[in-house]
A and B are shown apart, each in its own frame.
Chain A
Amino acid sequence: MSDDTLLEVRGLRKYFPIRKGVLQRTVAEVKAVDGVDLAVKIGETVGLVGESGCGKTTTGRAILRLTEPTSGEILFRGRDDARMIDVATASPARLKELRRDMQIIFQDPYSSLNPRMTVGEIVAEPLQIQGLMGRAEREARALDLLKAVGLSEDHSRRFPHEFSGGQRQRIGIARALALNPKLIICDEPVSALDVSIQAQVINLLQDLQERFGLTYLFIAHDLSVVKHISNRVAVMYLGRIVELASTRELFENPKHPYTEALMSAVPVADPDFKVERIPLEGDVPSPVDPPKGCHFHPRCRYAQDICRNEVPAYRQVASAHFASCHRADELGLRGLKSS
């Protein structure tokens, strides 16, 4: 582990039990996150992409322990920079302290703000809970934060329902910034917004990253957004990371057939640009009973016998490029041309 690692996730698992009957016996488990390994360096943005239901959001929430992980280590470089703290086993008091350093921006700006609190209260509350400042200081800080995200001071006395979606997301960002965190997990922060607003919010996030030295774990399903903002991208499928590389490498030279299929679905704003789409047949398999062998084999057009029987190892396939595919070395997969 190098010194510039801010967050390192090892073997993260989150299983949701399915209970049945009078005695509520556990009859099965939804393996939402099934062994995720991921490292995030200080100051970078790591994109986490995948279809709906692949476990992106659960991964983000489990890292913050907003849902309790079933197993795994979540090592985070806390206040004193010297050593990593395991978030997964942190005591409630330690966890509360860790919340100052790791925050989250939610997907839905309509439901993630408490409708009974004014914007000022929402932004200042983390400071109050953490007992960091006096009342007057908190209010002043809330006003500063609102200005930093492009809202004005007189917005602080209003309630969330008086704002548009983009403005609400700005409030959510200001709230996440209040404690001056190191890491912000952005859980699809723009997917609920209009396209015109998406660009504004993305640019705001980039500005803030520069200004406050933030590190982002950026969860999304929109590849163009991820391509724009991320330094590195991890592709998730059925609870596991199947490929990880620098953004450019991943988009130009994918090593996993699933990534290739995702790339072929990215719309390109050029009417003369023709691309052969690779349609993925069927739905994402059930995370209750994932397919044997490689999870992706039922939908993979390159699948062979080995894929149906053996789980591929998640291994380095090129410099700083990881993938879990038996045939990563032999397949010449097509990516996106750099534009």
Chain B
Amino acid sequence: MTRLIIGRLLFMVPAALGIITFLFALFHLIPGDPAIMLAGDNAPRSVVDAIREAYGFDQPLHVQYGRYMAKVLQGDLGISNYSRDPVVNSVIPRIINTAQLAFLSMLFAMIVSLVLGCVSAMYWNRPLDKVVTVVALLGICTPVFVSGLLAIYFFSIYLGWLPISGMSSWRHFILPVITLGAFQAAVLTRMVRSCMVDALGKDYIVTARAKGAPEFLVVFKHALRNALLPIVTLFGLGLGHTLGGSVVTETIFNWPGLGRLMVNSILTRDLPITQGAIFFFAMIFILVNMIVDLVYAWVDPRIRYD
């Protein structure tokens, strides 16, 4: 197990280097002169030249690449074109906000989907199962911007129970977490259901019953653990998506997260911020995938011994 963890951690290094290289390429592949972009279209030639020299754009590409790599490895992702703050300083707090939203949403999705999925599988093909299946289908079909706006209208405007936007108290978390989590819960519920139906039909379930195991032990110890592998995969993907793809939810609920920061930086052409945001998104995704891999090994002993 320790070897597996170390192996996975080492695998992160080339992935991270790849991302940095891609970001560097992105900066130089987009059309236009970066110096002119920074100075503005109508800036005098002397200003553009000064910027070019100051940022090192006059150097050969491999020198620029080396400098960029060295800076990133030291934790310096550049300076925002507008606020002149280091990119790291504006990205980190946003990451924390986004991570809070994402993890709470996925926690919500996990609990809801495990309960509904297991119940659905236990009552397979009976009315309760059909109700769960239809509700899950509705959840998958409803885009976040629809469910989010409906939730705001109903709970915040019509009933007046919950705040509309921002994140200043725990009550502010409820609507965004449920909106973002509901979609994931719907996707996961269907997965849990089908995996559990499959697992509950296996012979070792009959074995467990023959041992005299009570029903909850049969379902949660024998079936769920075997059904877990595809669920963990989907959960990891879902976590990656909520971390990176919560842009719509963050916009609807005015959530100061990484998604909104990135969208704003693209609109204002604040390239260092965009790069920084992409860098962190990518790193988070790699980290989540690594954790998923490790969970695999915990869930399935066959993977552990490879």
Q: Which of A64, A97, A116, A162 contacts B210 (CB 8 A)?
A: A64
Which of the listed residues A61, A106, A116 has the most CB atoms from chain B within 10 Å of its own CB?
Answer: A116
Q: Indicate if the CB atoms of A113 and B204 lie closer than 8 Å.
A: yes
Known: A111-B202, A114-B222, A115-B226. A104 touches B299 (CB 8 A): no
A307 to chain B, nearest CB (A): 37
User: For chain B residues 284-306, which have a beta carbon within 8 Å of chain A?
Assistant: 299-302, 305
Q: Is A316 in contact with chain B by the CB < 8 A criterion?
A: no
Q: Indicate if the CB atoms of B206 and A125 lie closer than 8 Å.
A: no
B210 to chain A, nearest CB (A): 5
Of B88-96, B211-219, B231-239, B250-258, the one touching chain A = B211-219
Q: Which of A108, A116, A129 contacts B299 (CB 8 A)?
A: A116
Instruction: Give the bracket for the number of chain A residues in contact with chain B.
Output: 20 to 34
Q: Indicate if the CB atoms of A96 and B212 lie closer than 8 Å.
A: yes
Q: Indicate if the CB atoms of B206 and A116 lie closer than 8 Å.
A: no
Q: Is B209 in contact with chain A by the CB < 8 A criterion?
A: yes
Which of the listed residues B202, B207, B302, B305 has the most CB atoms from chain A within 10 Å of its own CB?
Answer: B207
Q: Indicate if the CB atoms of A116 and B207 lie closer than 8 Å.
A: no
Q: Indicate if the CB atoms of B203 and A103 lie closer than 8 Å.
A: no
- Taking beta carbons and an 8 Å cutoff, which residues of A are in contact with B? 61, 64, 66, 95-97, 99-100, 103-104, 106, 108, 111-116, 118, 125-126, 129-130, 159, 161-162, 172, 175, 179
How far does the alpha carbon of A95 sit from the alpha carbon of B214 in the complex, in Å? Answer: 11
- Give 12 new A-B contacts, CB below 8 A, not counting A111-B203, A161-B301, A179-B211: A61-B206, A99-B210, A113-B207, A114-B207, A116-B300, A126-B212, A129-B214, A129-B217, A130-B211, A161-B302, A172-B207, A175-B211
Q: Which of B206, B225, B300, B302 contacts A66 (CB 8 A)?
A: B206
Q: Chain B residues near A179: list those with CB within 8 A.
A: 211
Q: Indicate if the CB atoms of A112 and B207 lie closer than 8 Å.
A: yes
Q: List 8 A-B contacts (CB under 8 A).
A: A99-B210, A106-B203, A108-B203, A112-B206, A113-B207, A114-B226, A115-B226, A116-B225
B191 to chain A, nearest CB (A): 18
Q: Chain B residues near A118: list those with CB within 8 A.
A: 301
How far does the alpha carbon of A161 sit from the alpha carbon of B300 in the complex, in Å? Answer: 11
B229 to chain A, nearest CB (A): 10
A83 to chain B, nearest CB (A): 21
Q: Chain B residues near A114: list those with CB within 8 A.
A: 204, 207-208, 222, 226
Q: Indicate if the CB atoms of B211 and A159 lie closer than 8 Å.
A: no
How far does the alpha carbon of A115 sit from the alpha carbon of B212 in the complex, in Å? Answer: 19
Specify the chain A residue showing the minimal Cβ separation from B215: A92
Q: Indicate if the CB atoms of B207 and A99 lie closer than 8 Å.
A: no
How far does the alpha carbon of A116 sit from the alpha carbon of B209 in the complex, in Å? Answer: 17
Interface size on B, residues (CB 8 A): 21
Q: Chain A residues near B213: list those with CB within 8 A.
A: 125, 129
Known: A106-B203, A115-B226. A99 touches B300 (CB 8 A): no
Q: Chain A residues near B211: list those with CB within 8 A.
A: 99, 125-126, 129-130, 175, 179
Which of the listed residues B213, B217, B222, B305 has the most CB atoms from chain A within 10 Å of its own CB?
Answer: B213
Q: Indicate if the CB atoms of B210 and A104 lie closer than 8 Å.
A: yes
B131 to chain A, nearest CB (A): 14
Q: Mark B184-213, 1 if CB is under 8 A from A, else 0.
A: 000000000000000000111011111111
Q: Chain B residues near A100: list those with CB within 8 A.
A: 212
Q: Indicate if the CB atoms of B206 and A106 lie closer than 8 Å.
A: yes
How far does the alpha carbon of A162 sit from the alpha carbon of B208 in the complex, in Å? Answer: 21
Q: Indicate if the CB atoms of B203 and A66 lie closer than 8 Å.
A: no
Q: Indicate if the CB atoms of A130 and B212 lie closer than 8 Å.
A: yes
Q: Which of B203, B212, B217, B226 contacts A116 (CB 8 A)?
A: B226
Specify the chain A residue showing the minimal Cβ separation from B207: A112
How far does the alpha carbon of A96 sit from the alpha carbon of B305 in the complex, in Å? Answer: 36
Specify the chain A residue showing the minimal Cβ separation from B213: A129
Known: A116-B225, A116-B226. A111 touches B204 (CB 8 A): yes
Q: Chain A residues near B204: list those with CB within 8 A.
A: 111-115
Q: Chain A residues near B209: list those with CB within 8 A.
A: 66
How far does the alpha carbon of A114 sit from the alpha carbon of B211 in the complex, in Å? Answer: 13
Q: Chain A residues near B305: list those with CB within 8 A.
A: 162
B123 to chain A, nearest CB (A): 13
How far does the alpha carbon of A115 sit from the alpha carbon of B202 in the complex, in Å? Answer: 11
B286 to chain A, nearest CB (A): 27
User: For chain B residues 75-104, which have a beta carbon within 8 Å of chain A?
Assistant: none
Q: Chain A residues near B208: list those with CB within 8 A.
A: 114, 125
How far does the alpha carbon of A188 sit from the alpha carbon of B197 in the complex, in Å? Answer: 25
How far does the alpha carbon of A64 sit from the alpha carbon of B300 in the complex, in Å? Answer: 31
Specify the chain B residue showing the minimal Cβ separation from A107: B203
Q: Mark B28-60, 1 if CB is under 8 A from A, else 0.
A: 000000000000000000000000000000000
Q: Which 5 A-B pairs have the closest CB atoms?
A: A99-B212, A112-B203, A111-B203, A126-B211, A96-B212
Specify the chain A residue showing the minimal Cβ separation from B299: A116
How far does the alpha carbon of A129 sit from the alpha carbon of B300 in the complex, in Å? Answer: 23
Q: Chain A residues near B226: list those with CB within 8 A.
A: 114-116
How far does the alpha carbon of A91 sit from the alpha carbon of B148 in the complex, in Å? Answer: 50
Specify the chain A residue showing the minimal Cβ separation from B228: A116
Q: Which of B207, B212, B299, B300 contacts A106 (CB 8 A)?
A: B207
A209 to chain B, nearest CB (A): 19
How far does the alpha carbon of A179 sit from the alpha carbon of B210 in the complex, in Å? Answer: 11
User: For chain B residues 239-295, which have a beta carbon within 8 Å of chain A?
Assistant: none
How far does the alpha carbon of A64 sit from the alpha carbon of B208 in the complex, in Å? Answer: 13
